[in-house]
Structure 1
């Protein structure tokens, strides 16, 4: 067993306590201003200043630490810092606290140096005491590290030259210098992300900077310390002079692979990165996390989360934060549900996971539906400067049958979830039943009315009966003489089949396909109760039925409609009312 401290439980201001596993990767997600970054800062503050009672926090109410391993295993982990010549541990870079105020003098407050000890000469009995009594604030940079943007940028600054025989390499660049395998691996990662190698310059002078560019080949007789080769390196761009994206990416990898911290927290590692680089970084963070260490990541990026899922770490845990007033609430996403989403080949390349970063989500059957309803929502609110634009994401599920799975996963962590479906979802029990149950409804309360409505639609006589359908199709087939079946004939056959089905007609008419009278009233109350649950069935049939004066279907219809005045065009009035009705309060998820 490897000795380790880890975050065992986080209690948030909203009252929820989340259990964390050792050696895990914890990803904190949620809408803007939910407290993601503040969570990391307050965890760090509570541990570094554990004896400083005036420390205040707003998101985290309590942090409980766990510990694995024995004292001897802890000393074994500290072996790289042992100086046999002096008989002490050299912990200079591990005991520097992040605060400089308060009352000092007792073990466990603000670091060894504030207690009158020389961190460069730490006796073994002091380390034993630190471990056995759990004084994390004595060595804050060993136990819990916070990697924000400035820390990542600073990690790419040149490192001091050090004595390979007597000094301990604390800086990540120093560790690259003594570990060529690590240096080569990080260089290959950087090459893949930015098209440049990452090279340590050991001959620069009093410092060792990182260069980026093509790795210079050795000329005959050259090696890494040859003056001629040094000149080649110095001609390459310095990483410290590059953009923040390159530096932040490199800083993340340097700190994760070389940091001493038992728990390493990273705030928004995706900052300044394009989506493909953010996704790649997520994969590398999962792949490169040293065994026995805990990684806590606060992120706004679905791409980074996708990268973590690409790596398929069994220890991945996702926590979603939301804020209600001054309270921050937390929920854990069930691992099996997120894996179910991620294993679906369609959803893997969709934006469904981005819903974790929004306050609410609307599921639609297709991308065109998302664009239509999102455009109408924006149009209805664009001139109202006093009303906050809803933080809502419209996402396509690729059809009705995917809605229950996604809705169940999102609702399980408290994301207010709605779904818009065409009227023909009433055609069969599945996926209607699964969608109702995924949104928290009791199917037994809906089934009797659904059966009545379904029977009412199907009692309508189709426009064509079977003999007529057969006759029309045979007539169309008799006119085909080419080796390749004509597209226009195929289209005509499809139109014939559509007219033979009452549900194809219902998809165009919506409630108009239900017989008038008592059965129509049953249908209206059924749709109203489904809306209160979060399942919005288009009463006019389908998206295109909102504006029947525009011909075509799908993207062709949508392109024409979006040219209209979405705010005031009278033909879109029913569509505007439908979209506004999407955001009435829904019951809060409790599963």
Structure 2
């Protein structure tokens, strides 16, 4: 790895210290107003030479270095002026370099001497170096990054601007143009013949006519007729600006605040993939984002160095927790989760896991309906997400709870049918299975002692009667549904899913079941006491989406048939569950 400066450790105002790798991609996520953008601004503004306990509100960054002074100078070789001991480092920051040196060192040299750079690398001027080699791209700087670059002398000048580097590196120019074309359907073209400035154009690259080359006046006129990138929308300019700075600017640490701004979800995801793919080796990328799409793009690239930090605020303190890399991989390797919105929960204050999409819509609609129209109370920042079945709940709950997201799960009553995944869900939410297992065994045994509503002979007779009604080549759906209903009544656990806690024999065993469900609820595992979602409103027929469509047409706020469901949803957020690693 070449000599480099990097963020070695982040210390947050809440007291957490998080070490970083020199080659890492660090993604800072969290709910609104958690301090993500402020953190990037503070990291840029700190010198890194001395830590101050009172110089930051959100985060302090300790700056480390890799390599010797000689290796550092070797990395700066492209900026060394011929036959001299000076380096033209002002090109890294344009005219702002002199201002930085003047403010911090008290003099304004035209160029930096080798001796000064050696001393700076040794620690005497490290703060200045971080300001030269650290960069923050916010909304405005990403836009201006695509402004035309100065024309330069190919034989004597150092190409410091990314657009200038596109001129001397055709492979880089073609690669960036190809990415831009995939995102927006247009090529990205440098105009080297526009006078003293070199703008970027977008559109279809003009073809060379016979006898024409890229500096021919006729070709220049064709280029000039293309739309200028600087005249396009913020989405195009921001996308291009991010790529230019990450791929072509010689920065050791690039920080980007909300790179997804102005982009549609597919473009944000594509940009995330490109940022991970195009980050040069040995450089650090720090991203603050609100976008699950951008995060999915980063995960698509599968960078081993990806580090996700979730930031939350408690009063005036900002707390941070990291998502274990193995758990990131576990989440991302699940096909159902890979194409779901589960990762978006990182950007919310709390999350509720449900078995299916229909459950999410039902409970989320009722939560909105239970909010009083006359109150000024803040709307809860909660996300309902489907896990594609109860067996996925423990894995997801463990990953989310491990980084401090208050996590709840809503499951049908038949989760009590077997030890797995009930045990894993309890442990994922921070509980001790030994505290629950004896009562669970009692409840399970009590339910299974119940005699099925129908004997085998009756089941056979009922199904045969239904089959005899079928005369069409295509099996009728209503008959299939009736057969399923017969089978459901034939199993004590299918009946329990319909009846919920009422399937438990009355008396002492019922009391055991009720305390078991109460303790699971306190942990954050909410078992539907009436059985399943459809049992909340038994007056509506059907199952799944058909049932849900009818229920959502009801007055969710006032209909008395939904009172039980409204109380259940309100109980999801009181008391707060324990979110433990």
Q: Partners in 2 of 1:342 and 1:85 — Cα distance?
A: 53
- Runs of at least 4 residues of structure 1 off by over 4 A? 50-55, 95-101, 116-119, 474-489
Quote the Cα distance in structure 2 between the aligned partners of 1:293 and 1:29: 21
**2:254 is the alignment partner of 1:256:** no
Quick one: distance in 2 between partners of 1:253 and 1:512?
A: 60
Task: Deviation per CA, 1:403-447: give whole Å up to 9, x if none.
Answer: 011000000000000000111111111111111111011111111
What secondary structure does 2:46 align onto?
helix
Per the TM alignment, residue 118 of structure 1 is displaced from its structure 2 partner at its CA by 4.7
Q: 2:82 pairs with 70, 84, 88, which one?
A: 84
Q: 1:315 aligns with which of 302, 305, 309?
A: 305
Q: CA deviation at 1:143?
A: 2.5
The number of aligned residues is 581
Contact 1:97 1:111 in 2 (8 A): no
CA distance in 2, matches of 1:408, 1:505: 31
Please provide the CA RMSD for this pair.
2.1
1:481/1:375 Cα in 2 relative to 1: closer, same or farther (>3 Å)? closer
Decide which moves more: 295-304 or 119-128. 119-128
CA-CA distance at 1:448 after TM superposition: 0.9
Q: In 1, Cα distance between the equivalents of 2:106 and 2:296?
A: 47
Q: Distance in 2 between matches of 1:52 and 1:64?
A: 7
**Aligned partners of 2:17 and 2:136: how far apart in 1?**
22
- The match for 1:163 among 153, 159, 164 is 153
Which of 376, 385, 389 pairs up with 2:375? 385
The answer to whether the Cα contact below 8 Å between 1:141 and 1:261 also exists between their aligned partners in 2 is: no
Q: Deviations over 1:208-263 (max 9, x none)?
A: 00000011111111111111111111111100000101000000000000111111
| Distance in 1, Cα, partners of 2:536 & 2:39 | 45
Paired with 2:431 and 2:103, the residues of 1 have a C-alpha distance of: 60
Whole-Å separation in 1 of the counterparts to 2:489 and 2:51: 77
Deviation at 1:121, TM superposition (A): 2.5
Selected match of 1:306 from 296, 301, 322: 296
Pair 549,134 (structure 1): closer, same or farther in 2 beyond 3 Å: farther
The 1-side partners of 2:575 and 2:531 are apart by 24
Deviation at 1:539, TM superposition (A): 0.8
Q: Corresponding residue for 2:57?
A: 58
- 1:501 and 2:491 are equivalent in the alignment: yes
1:153 equivalent in alignment to 2:146 = no
In the superposition, relative to structure 1, how do residues 233 and 265 fare at CA in structure 2: closer, same or farther (>3 Å)? same
Partner of 2:14: 14
Distance apart, 1:506 and its partner CA: 1.2
Query: In the TM superposition, what is the alpha-carbon distance from 1:28 to its structure 2 partner?
Result: 0.3
Runs of 5+ in structure 2 lacking a partner? Answer: none
Partner in structure 2 of residue 359 of structure 1 = 349
Q: Aligned-pair distance for 1:95?
A: 5.7
Q: How does 1:48-197 map to 2 (within 5 A)?
A: 56-60=55-59, 62-94=60-92, 110-111=100-101, 115=105, 117-133=107-123, 135-197=125-187
Equivalent position to 1:573, from 524, 542, 563 = 563
Give the TM-score, by structure 1 length: 0.94
Of 525, 528, 535, the match for 1:538: 528
Deviations 1:87-118 (A, max 9, x none): 421111336697999xxxxxxxx426763555
Question: Where in structure 1 are there 5+ consecutive unaligned residues?
Answer: 102-109
Which shifted more, 548-557 or 186-195? Answer: 548-557
Contact 2:47 2:131 in 1 (8 A): no
Q: Deviation of residue 136 (structure 1)? A: 2.8
Alpha-carbon distance in 2 for matches of 1:425, 1:445: 17
Name the CA distance, whole Å, in 1 between partners of 2:215 and 2:227: 19
Q: What are the superposed Cα offsets for residues 459-516 of structure 1, whole Å, 9 maximum, x if unpaired?
A: 2211111222233334545666766555444333322211101111111111111111
Pair 1:329–1:3, CA change in 2 (3 A): same
Task: Check conservation: 1:97, 1:139, Cα contact below 8 A.
Answer: no
Deviations 1:503-553, CA, capped at 9 Å, x for gaps: 111111111111111111111111000000000011111111111111111
Tell me, in whole angstroms, the C-alpha distance in 1 between the residues paired with 2:98 and 2:35. 25
Superposition pairs for residues 554-569 of structure 1, below 5 Å? 554-569=544-559
Instruction: Give 1:512's aligned residue.
Output: 502
1:146, distance to aligned residue in structure 2 (A): 0.8
Shift of 1:589: 3.1
Q: Would you say 1:47 and 2:47 are equivalent positions?
A: yes
Establish whether residue 417 from structure 1 lines up as the match of residue 416 from structure 2: no
Change (3 A) 1:134 1:22: farther
Distance 1:493 1:568, change over 3 A: closer
The CA distance in 2 between the partners of 1:572 and 1:187, in whole Å, is: 56
Deviations 1:280-332 (A, max 9, x none): 00000000001110000000000000000000000000000000000000000
